Amino acid sequence: MEKPEYLDWLNQYTDAEACTSSQQSLPYYLRVNSLKTTAEEYLNWTNLKLEKTFLSYAFQVKELPPNGLGNTIDYATGWMHTQSLSSMLPPHLLNPKPGENVLDICAAPGSKTTQCAALMQNKGIILANDKNKGRISALANNIERLGVINTSTMNQDGARFTSPHKFQKILVDAPCSGLGSSEKAYGWWEEKYSRNISALQTAILRTAFSHLEPGGTLVYSTCTYPPDENERPVSRLLEKNPNAKLEAVEIPNSEPGIQEFGKEFKKARRVYPHKFNSEGFFLAKIRKP
């Protein structure tokens, strides 16, 4: 899509000019890996200039090291993981606890899986699944570097995922058009793409929800803006499963979901770069009573 056309489209949802220009210079963030250190110990040790965020383990990097964050000893030792603040939101909302069993159905390369493992203090079980075999090696590398020992990887199509076990917590970080994470994605994107991928997202979400234990929680997230990829798959799930309930969540400087899909979508969250100072995201927390 050409930029003027994209700006017109995005203006339906937010201030498109502010949104796209902020996306060109978003800060870097890192997550202190509590499986290997504490925020206090890490801050005393690292040479990086960091600033606090609203998450106790997440920091904004004020000055990038000359060779990038991925080439630091901090990264190699697994004391930290580079991850956008927005990308830390889905595990933050899911809030997996030590001892729980968790399914991460679209897991690679594992930023959110390893964050879940840290929140669980390596106790309990995570099944980290991804359809793309090539991306499983990056997932395995992150699991090893970050000292995660409670996670097994799996290579299934999430839309057809089967397991004899049910899960207390499930993360569906769905494949999407990525308009919130890549400032250039609009160049190849068209609305038709979102309508098509919406069917896959819906199928993965339904399959995941069918593996949720009663009393369990599922978080659906994408890093994009089109309602076809966000509110629509969630709304289809709610229609087919009257026992699925959206739960209100708090994220600073975020906005409610689009309520054309129903009043309950004010409980979903839209995160825009110019307001949140990190990637664009959509999040919905769903409970099975």
In the list 97, 135, 245, 287, the residue contacting ligand SAM (rule: CB under 6 A) is 135
Whether residue 98 is preceded by a cis peptide bond, meaning omega within 30 degrees of 0, is: no
Q: Cβ(136)–Cβ(159) under 8 Å? A: no
Residue whose CB is less far from ligand SAM, 131 or 270: 131
Nearer to ligand SAM, 48 or 146 (CB): 146
**Residue 119 engages ligand SAM in binding (rule: CB under 6 A):** no
Residues in 217-276 that interact with ligand SAM by CB under 6 A: none
Q: Which parts of 143-202 interact with ligand SAM (CB under 6 A)?
A: 157-159, 173, 175, 200
Which residues carry out catalysis? Answer: 223
In whole angstroms, the minimum distance from the beta carbon of 121 to ligand SAM comes to 19
Count Cβ atoms within 10 A of the Cβ of residue 164 and give its class: 0-12 exposed, 13-18 middle, 19 or more buried.
exposed
DSSP conformation letters of 221-260:
EES---GGGTHHHHHHHHHH-TT-EEE----TT-EEPPGG
**Amino acid type, 115:** Q
Residue with tokens 């509590």: 34
Binding mask 20-59 for ligand SAM (x = CB under 6 A): ----------------------------------------
Site string for ligand SAM, 77-116 (x = CB under 6 A): ----------x-----------------xxxxxxxx----
* Residue 187 in tokens: 């160049």
Give 95's contacts (C-beta < 8 A, 6+ positions apart): 119, 169, 217
Residue 183: CB minimum distance to ligand SAM, A: 17
Residue with smaller CB distance to ligand SAM, 46 or 224: 224
**204 interacts with ligand SAM by CB under 6 A:** yes
Alpha helices by DSSP H, listed for the chain, are 3-10, 16-23, 39-45, 73-76, 89-94, 111-119, 133-145, 191-210, 231-240, 273-276
- Part of the chain binding ligand SAM (CB under 6 A), chosen from 40-48, 66-74, 124-132, 277-285: 124-132
The tokens for 247 are 């739960």
Which residues lie near ligand SAM (CB under 6 A)? Answer: 87, 105-112, 130-132, 135, 157-159, 173, 175, 200, 204
